[in-house]
Structure 1
């Protein structure tokens, strides 16, 4: 038992006053003699005994009444737990990730949580509240009413340790009793194996289980270029094995283009395809007609009309050595300009994506300067050495290190292909063992600091790459190499050209560090903006000569269609979608973690209230005091 006002107990010393009064109250008796006093002596003795008992009873009841009265004013109480003796601070985390849109008893989990939590909070109770996107410190219901009921779904959820750190930043004092309520569906926590709690925070998990985990979503979409048209291949997934059929609709803006059925047949994945034809699809959408979470029922994508890839093939003099390039780059996707260094127009470099240096023997200072500036501004270079080239021919060119370190006049076979390199990512379905590999009869040794793509049998590089610089070890003249007659020549040069121009992706994921390169000239203070129907944002951007690199890691934050604008001109149409990881619906495995878990908000708050309840005894003390004083009156009145 603990006293709120222990100083009042000093008044217990005053109890000595009634004790002294009872002990030292002296009465003098006068003796009167009668003829026969035997009976009177007996009556006198009995009367004295009764009087003494009555006095002691009055003394005891009076003392007990005073004792309980003093105890009542000292306000004694008994706490249920040690934390009940401290000032309390409450922090509440409400998980508003996309999975909280799954159905609860009558409404979605998030709406159910908002209703129940609001009913449990006291009108004057102070608390701190935070979600995955917002936070409010030291507030009451009155302060947050409008914001509270406007809490919306957001992509992703906080990691467990991030929740603890966020909560700790919201508490005012280190001396208070701290409680944290984590209200979540426990789906898709990123740090499941490492649930580490802190001794300074009373942690309470409130687990809201959805009525159903069934959810269909568009996982991905890929564009395949056919001979006559493009095909959009769409992957639709289900969180549970099912035999349902789901309708997938293809839109261009608001116009419905086509529909298809995704059939699962007790599987988790279904694939559908759409032929795109001649439709532009600057604002394409794929839409599922289903319940569950809504964010993953729509996938935004954009198709931009790609300009031809500009390629310049430079040589020392007019030769037929570039004829194989004309054969490779003959489609409408490429614009090849073959020229010699003597009559080359340097102004064309600024609009070029790829420059192939085909057996150039000598570099003039102006040519070298222009090529190095082209490379620094994001251009792609291919170096094919001439038959008379030495290791010093390309020294101090583009790279700080020498490109070639030695020469070799022996025949060497090209025997190794780096199948994982982007140039061969979609060329071979499997690693080939029996392949008619090409060979060279005169070559240079490429600096080992460049990453090999094709290698000789001794491990040195025939073709190597580093930061958009592709280097061959040998002339491709048929006198020194049969490479241009091998099946490798087409995928190598074709894919080098494709990768020299950064084409926008079909769509990007919000939060991923994607880089989009666009050719445009910006004035000194001019910037590019991403504009949608709802907002306009400024992405991170880097100016490189006549190109601008856009990094979309931090902006935009909302999925949808965006136009990359330079003033009033639209440079590109871009689409962004939220990460689909939230759709996996993986429940958190608590395992052997010693955590306090509740199924309802009411149950958790009742436990919190019970743990901090204080049994106040002053009322009982006052009742006992009044009881003893009443008993004293009864003794005085009725006891003779």
Structure 2
């Protein structure tokens, strides 16, 4: 037991006073004489004993009364077992990612967590609240009541390590209690590796009753026909028990197609055929799982001709004119000596076909061209020097040409999963008629291999950035050195290498990804474009690149949907945004990752636990009650004890 005011205990010396009063009573007794005391003797003895007992009882009650009063003013208490953390600041991390849409015993997990905070957080409690999308520092429950009630799900996935780092970076003179409210979907032990020694980290982990969920993973152009697109809708099923679900396709909010999907496997692809024209809509499903991944928004612009030029000798480039036909491409060939550099920025792809040397001026121009979203296809000449080629490719990544080899090699490896061949093959080809090359450069690089030799070395590699690619062949593909021009794979390879991914195909951006959009539009220095739809509008980060503009969206928009890019009120291009699907798999819940930390059942228990463990047990009231009890006891003794 400890005392807040131990100096008051010196008043215990006052207990000597009632003792002295009782031992040395100063009252004088007067003697009275009676004629006959025979009958009073026994009564006198009895009265004398009773009087003596009463004196001792009164002495004891008065001593205890005075002692308890002194103890009460000294304010005794028992120290709490966790009193050293009594001054800690409270930080609450609330997971508002889309997996918290799952339903628990009392409804959606996020809404239940918000309700628990509103109902059970003491009004005088000061804390900070951090979510995936917002921060509320040094606040109380009344101040953020409206914000909590209107809290939306975040397009950003729950990344606990980033949120913990944000709290630890928040300067404070006090220690920190951190309470994490999450369903633990996607929670990994490495996210907590920097918090292993943190004894004041608590977890509240609500559980979903059902983990079954179906998500639309992606939409892509599966096949381009003369007058139609065949688009593929990829669906993922997470869990065990699934029934047939409806799937519908909408263009500008008008129903285009509808069917039922049955899941005999975990992954399913549904194909739709739509007219080869502008499309600005979405595909939607209806299931009993999460809602956020039931819609996938996408846009398709009416195809425009791609602009392609090849730089090299006319005779060696004649095969390209048979691939880049006039109905889909604006194709031209220029010898290096007659090249107009002003044409480069207007192209979608440039083929460097067997140039003996790439001049420094052209290298600089092509570096800028690739940064603006253009593709470059490099076919080396056997007379090229590795140093010149490496000097050019150093602008785009770690890629190195070694000496020219004279061994004939077979091209036997096809990277079917590479984006260049998306939708080209219905299945992997085993009986392929493999082309070969007689001479080729040895290549060392870390870039993905698109086509490879039988000895596992690359024949065609792709150096990719967020907006464009540089494709590099290992050797010449003229008919003297190779029969690659006679292979059926040459057409889809060169066709897709020349296509601008943002000019043809699906336009659907994932919110939060750093992938920029490059569009062709002329803007003056003072002009800007904005992105908007009926409910939301924002101005993206933008950079003018001659006749193009590069847009970066960061964490915008807040909500998925179909949008338009506008220059003033003029529509420049349609664009669509979708949420990341990382929260779709509810079976990824991993509460074991937090097993090394304290787990609390609910918010109400949280504050009870902290208060019980950290609040001193004040017992001065008990001493006051005992003092009053002995006051009453003294009155009773005075009245009833004779």
Normalized against structure 2, the TM-score is what? 0.82
Residue 632 (structure 2) aligns with: 630
Alpha-carbon deviations, 1:520-557, whole Å to 9, x = none? Answer: 44434544433333333333444445444434444444
State the shift of 1:19 in Å: 1.9
Residue 247 (structure 1) aligns with: 246
Residue 523 (structure 1) aligns with: 524
State the shift of 1:596 in Å: 3.7
Identify if the C-alpha distance between structure 1 residues 405 and 303 changes in structure 2 by more than 3 Å, giving closer, same or farther: same
Alignment of 1:329 onto 2:324? yes
Greater radius of gyration (CA) = 1
Alpha-carbon deviations, 1:126-175, whole Å to 9, x = none? Answer: 33333222232333333222222111222345334445445556795426
Q: Provide the secondary structure at the position in 2 that maps to 1:153.
A: coil
State the shift of 1:297 in Å: 1.3
Identify if the C-alpha distance between structure 1 residues 5 and 187 changes in structure 2 by more than 3 Å, giving closer, same or farther: same
RMSD across aligned C-alpha pairs, in angstroms?
Answer: 4.2
* Distance in 1 of aligned mates of 2:66 and 2:387: 111
Residue 158 (structure 2) aligns with: 158
* Distance in 2 of aligned mates of 1:297 and 1:444: 49
Identify if the C-alpha distance between structure 1 residues 136 and 414 changes in structure 2 by more than 3 Å, giving closer, same or farther: same
State the shift of 1:414 in Å: 3.0
State the shift of 1:394 in Å: 6.1
Identify if the C-alpha distance between structure 1 residues 23 and 508 changes in structure 2 by more than 3 Å, giving closer, same or farther: same
State the shift of 1:209 in Å: 2.5
Give 2:304's match in structure 1, choosing from 297, 304, 307. 307
* Distance in 2 of aligned mates of 1:102 and 1:461: 47
Give 1:185's match in structure 2, choosing from 183, 190, 207. 183
Instruction: Judge conservation of contact 1:419–1:425 (CA < 8 Å) in 2.
Output: no
* Distance in 2 of aligned mates of 1:134 and 1:74: 47
Residue 365 (structure 2) aligns with: 373
Residue 71 (structure 1) aligns with: 71
Instruction: Judge conservation of contact 1:91–1:170 (CA < 8 Å) in 2.
Output: no
* Distance in 1 of aligned mates of 2:309 and 2:85: 81
Q: Provide the secondary structure at the position in 1 that maps to 2:185.
A: coil
Give 1:289's match in structure 2, choosing from 277, 286, 291. 286
Question: Greater CA deviation, 128-137 or 612-621?
Answer: 612-621
Residue 227 (structure 1) aligns with: 225
* Distance in 2 of aligned mates of 1:398 and 1:619: 85
Residue 14 (structure 1) aligns with: 14
Instruction: Judge conservation of contact 1:353–1:501 (CA < 8 Å) in 2.
Output: no
* Distance in 2 of aligned mates of 1:444 and 1:269: 41
State the shift of 1:500 in Å: 8.6
State the shift of 1:583 in Å: 1.2
Residue 533 (structure 2) aligns with: 532
Residue 496 (structure 1) aligns with: 497
Instruction: Judge conservation of contact 1:315–1:359 (CA < 8 Å) in 2.
Output: yes
* Distance in 2 of aligned mates of 1:512 and 1:26: 97
Q: Provide the secondary structure at the position in 2 that maps to 1:21.
A: helix
* Distance in 2 of aligned mates of 1:501 and 1:619: 76
* Distance in 1 of aligned mates of 2:108 and 2:400: 62
Instruction: Judge conservation of contact 2:12–2:67 (CA < 8 Å) in 1.
Output: yes
Alpha-carbon deviations, 1:553-583, whole Å to 9, x = none? Answer: 4444432222233444433322111011211
State the shift of 1:193 in Å: 8.1
Q: Provide the secondary structure at the position in 2 that maps to 1:208.
A: coil
Give 1:438's match in structure 2, choosing from 422, 436, 439. 436
* Distance in 2 of aligned mates of 1:392 and 1:44: 132
Residue 101 (structure 1) aligns with: 101
* Distance in 2 of aligned mates of 1:385 and 1:192: 45
Identify if the C-alpha distance between structure 1 residues 630 and 151 changes in structure 2 by more than 3 Å, giving closer, same or farther: same
Identify if the C-alpha distance between structure 1 residues 311 and 162 changes in structure 2 by more than 3 Å, giving closer, same or farther: closer
Instruction: Judge conservation of contact 1:520–1:547 (CA < 8 Å) in 2.
Output: yes
Instruction: Judge conservation of contact 2:83–2:616 (CA < 8 Å) in 1.
Output: no
Instruction: Judge conservation of contact 1:476–1:483 (CA < 8 Å) in 2.
Output: yes
Identify if the C-alpha distance between structure 1 residues 141 and 377 changes in structure 2 by more than 3 Å, giving closer, same or farther: same
* Distance in 1 of aligned mates of 2:85 and 2:376: 74
* Distance in 2 of aligned mates of 1:478 and 1:271: 40
Alpha-carbon deviations, 1:313-359, whole Å to 9, x = none? Answer: 3445xx54443222222262222223456766554333223333556
State the shift of 1:461 in Å: 7.5
Alpha-carbon deviations, 1:168-216, whole Å to 9, x = none? Answer: 56795426xx544433333332447857756665444333223433433
* Distance in 1 of aligned mates of 2:477 and 2:442: 15
* Distance in 2 of aligned mates of 1:137 and 1:598: 23
Residue 144 (structure 1) aligns with: 144
Instruction: Judge conservation of contact 2:462–2:470 (CA < 8 Å) in 1.
Output: yes
* Distance in 2 of aligned mates of 1:464 and 1:243: 42
Alignment of 1:298 onto 2:290? no
Question: Greater CA deviation, 415-424 or 513-522?
Answer: 415-424
* Distance in 1 of aligned mates of 2:640 and 2:455: 123
Alpha-carbon deviations, 1:284-320, whole Å to 9, x = none? Answer: 111123444221111100001232121223445xx54
Normalized against structure 1, the TM-score is what? 0.82
Q: Provide the secondary structure at the position in 2 that maps to 1:158.
A: coil
* Distance in 1 of aligned mates of 2:615 and 2:31: 65
* Distance in 2 of aligned mates of 1:500 and 1:135: 37
Residue 509 (structure 2) aligns with: 508
Identify if the C-alpha distance between structure 1 residues 245 and 338 changes in structure 2 by more than 3 Å, giving closer, same or farther: same
Residue 128 (structure 1) aligns with: 128
Instruction: Judge conservation of contact 1:179–1:202 (CA < 8 Å) in 2.
Output: yes
* Distance in 1 of aligned mates of 2:213 and 2:459: 51
Residue 215 (structure 2) aligns with: 217
* Distance in 2 of aligned mates of 1:543 and 1:606: 58
Instruction: Judge conservation of contact 2:344–2:369 (CA < 8 Å) in 1.
Output: no
State the shift of 1:257 in Å: 1.0
Instruction: Judge conservation of contact 1:502–1:516 (CA < 8 Å) in 2.
Output: no
Residue 272 (structure 2) aligns with: 274
